[in-house]
């Protein structure tokens, strides 16, 4: 019997408006499909441009001009949003940011769809959409007015998700199939600055973005004193992520620690993980290189 694994695809736009920052665009728009940048706009160039070679084949000739004009109008709306929020938060000058991420997800096997929207002001959550309940919510008092207004017309956003966002996602997937379905395995390194410092397991250069980093202690999953970093994009469209563990040198000597990285069903083997020990007497040497890594030491720091 043949089983097909479902894949959840995503299409989103990330809007960022700022005020009070010199020599920086007041407004930036980035369009993404499955974590890959597909188009870009900023208020300095006032142009919507492709960020992937295959995108031009998926759109009509007037797409860039039409969407550039739309983004210009959205820029003004976001500038107004900042002014409104400054009043609500009793602020005057200074640097302020308003960000919005909205888009959709589609399961290519079950056909299930999901819509999402998250708004933030000055780095804090402001308003978000509960897709299942079809309503907006806010964790702050200043967002209540916005929530009340937007909840009067959730049907408009629902229509956008179902009839525009999802259709564009499917179109992009069709034209960008070879690029979007590529798989690039991560490069993994173990980094330690000193014998008494923490150890970081750093995975980079992988695509798509789904990756699991797990620390093991004596062949058992270990979660104590482990900090998992955020997923970050690289300039080439790939991703990076780190997981750092804090353990005393004494603990390193008494136990066997290892980092396990899984990506697209593949688990990195011991000789595929690099390390940077500068002193053969350090605990990372006995714990990672001799026991788990076994590869050539790489001086990376």
Please state the rounded mean pLDDT for residues 51-78: 92
Within 10 A of 122 (CB to CB), how many other CB atoms are there?
16
Domain match, 147 and 31 both: yes
pTM of the model: 0.73
> What pLDDT sits at residue 182?
82
Q: Which of 180, 199, 219 is the last residue of a domain?
A: 180
Confidence class of residue 265 from pLDDT cuts 50, 70 and 90? Answer: confident
Please state the rounded mean pLDDT for residues 269-277: 62
Q: Residue 198 in contact with residue 240, Cβ under 8 Å?
A: no
Q: How far apart are the first and last CA of the chain?
A: 49
- d(C-alpha 278, C-alpha 273), whole Å: 16
Q: Which of 180, 205, 240 is the last residue of a domain?
A: 180
Domain match, 134 and 100 both: yes
Q: Which of 146, 180, 214 is the last residue of a domain?
A: 180
Domain match, 211 and 279 both: yes
Q: Residue 33 in contact with residue 172, Cβ under 8 Å?
A: yes
Domain match, 49 and 135 both: yes
Domain match, 167 and 65 both: yes
Please name which of 153, 160, 120, 123 lies closest in space to residue 136, comparing C-alpha atoms. Answer: 153
Over 50: is that where the pLDDT of 297 sits? no
Confidence class of residue 178 from pLDDT cuts 50, 70 and 90? Answer: confident
Which percentage of the chain shows pLDDT scores above 90? 60
Q: Residue 152 in contact with residue 233, Cβ under 8 Å?
A: no
- Quick: pLDDT tens for 4-17: 556 789 999 999 99
Inter-residue long-range contacts of 268-272, CB under 8 Å, 24+ positions, other chains counted: 268/185, 268/186, 268/188, 270/294, 270/295, 271/295, 272/188
* Alpha-carbon torsion, ordered 40, 93, 143, 106, to 10 deg: 10
CATH code of the domain covering residue 244: 2.60.40.10
Domain match, 59 and 163 both: yes
> What pLDDT sits at residue 271?
58
Over 60: is that where the pLDDT of 257 sits? yes
Number of structural domains the chain divides into: 2
> What pLDDT sits at residue 234?
86
> What pLDDT sits at residue 270?
57
Over 60: is that where the pLDDT of 281 sits? no
Domain match, 172 and 218 both: no
More confident of the two residues 49 and 191 = 49
Please state the rounded mean pLDDT for residues 228-251: 88
- Quick: pLDDT tens for 116-162: 999 999 999 999 999 999 999 999 999 999 999 999 989 999 999 99
> What pLDDT sits at residue 183?
85
Write out the residue range of the structural domain in which residue 103 sits. 8-180
- Give the ranges where 30-94 is alpha helix by DSSP (H): 63-88
Residue 3 placed within a domain: no
Confidence class of residue 2 from pLDDT cuts 50, 70 and 90? Answer: very low
Q: Which two tokens stand for residue 290?
A: 């001799």
Please state the rounded mean pLDDT for residues 92-117: 94
CATH code of the domain covering residue 70: 3.30.500.10
Domain match, 207 and 76 both: no
**What is the overall mean pLDDT for the chain?**
85
């Amino acid at each position: 019997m043949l089983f097909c694994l479902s894949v959840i695809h995503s299409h989103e736009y990330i809007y960022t408006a700022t005020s009070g920052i010199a020599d920086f665009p007041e407004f930036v728009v980035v369009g993404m499909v499955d974590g890959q940048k597909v188009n870009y706009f900023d208020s300095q160039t006032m142009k919507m441009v492709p960020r992937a070679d295959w995108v031009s084949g998926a759109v009509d000739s007037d797409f860039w001009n039409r969407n550039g004009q739309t983004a210009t109008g959205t820029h003004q709306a976001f500038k107004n949003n900042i002014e409104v929020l400054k009043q609500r938060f009793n602020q005057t000058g200074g640097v302020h940011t308003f960000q919005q991420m909205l888009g959709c997800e589609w399961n290519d096997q079950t056909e299930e769809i999901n819509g999402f929207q998250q708004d933030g002001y000055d780095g804090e959550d402001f308003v978000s959409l509960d897709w299942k309940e079809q309503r907006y919510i806010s964790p702050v008092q200043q967002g209540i007015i916005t929530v009340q207004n937007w909840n009067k017309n959730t049907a408009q956003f629902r229509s956008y998700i179902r009839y525009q966002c999802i259709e564009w996602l499917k179109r992009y997937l069709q034209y960008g199939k070879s690029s979007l379905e590529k798989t690039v395995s991560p490069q993994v390194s173990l980094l330690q600055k000193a014998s008494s410092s923490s150890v970081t397991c750093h995975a980079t250069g992988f695509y798509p973005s789904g990756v699991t980093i797990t620390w093991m202690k004596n062949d058992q999953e270990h979660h104590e004193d482990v900090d998992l970093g955020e997923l970050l994009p690289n300039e080439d469209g790939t991703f990076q992520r780190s997981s750092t563990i804090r353990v005393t040198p004494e603990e390193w000597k008494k136990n066997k620690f290892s980092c396990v990285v899984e990506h697209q069903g593949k688990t990195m083997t011991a000789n595929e993980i690099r390390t940077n020990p500068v002193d053969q007497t350090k605990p990372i040497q006995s714990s990672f290189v001799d026991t788990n890594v076994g590869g050539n030491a790489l001086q990376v720091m």
